[in-house]
Amino acid sequence: MQVKEILAIKGTVLYTIAPARTLGEAVAAMSDNDVGSLVCFDGGRMVGMLTFREVLKAVNAGGSGWGGLKVADVMVRDPVVADPEMEMDDLRRMMIEHHSRYLPVMEGTTLMGVISFHDVARAVLEEQSFENRMLKAYIRDWPEGERTGS
């Protein structure tokens, strides 16, 4: 299964924020949209990624003033990205090696979507469930004499 197939299942709703916005605005957007990440865009190009991990680090370091911090001050700049043609096994390896729960998927300079570890887990489960159904159908339809070895 390729990354583009996971995106097709997931859908392509994109949640973005400008780096000049405040962390308070980012947290409100993440909460309102029930997402764990926002892709940061400036001048029409991706410049970073904000996840709940960076938010928690900023809250811990910023004390009561965390909400006024700029997204640019806490986002991950130039994050690792996935390619739509990438195989799921390579994607999982990349996410583990880079300790990333969220990866933007880029085709050239175009953001195609964001893949979360949850999306990958769901895709693996669906793929295994499909294979399991196919194997059971194959075994069920196997000629009787070949199944029993007679």
Q: What is the per-residue pLDDT across 85-103, written as a single tens digit (0 to 9) for each?
A: 999 899 999 999 999 999 9
Q: What is the pLDDT of residue 144?
A: 67
Nearest to 15 by CA among 3, 1, 33: 33
pLDDT lower than 70: segments of the chain: 127-133, 144-150
**DSSP letters for 74-112:** HSEES---B-TT-BHHHHHHHHHHTT-SEEEEEETTEEE
16 neighbors 25 (Cβ within 8 angstroms) = no
> What global pTM score does this model have?
0.78
23 neighbors 68 (Cβ within 8 angstroms) = yes
> At 149, is the secondary structure helix, strand, or coil?
coil
Nearest to 37 by CA among 45, 49, 25: 49
Hey, what CATH topology would domain 3-142 get? CBS-domain (3.10.580)
C-alpha triplet 78, 79, 85: angle, nearest 5°? 115
Residue ranges of the domains in the chain?
3-142
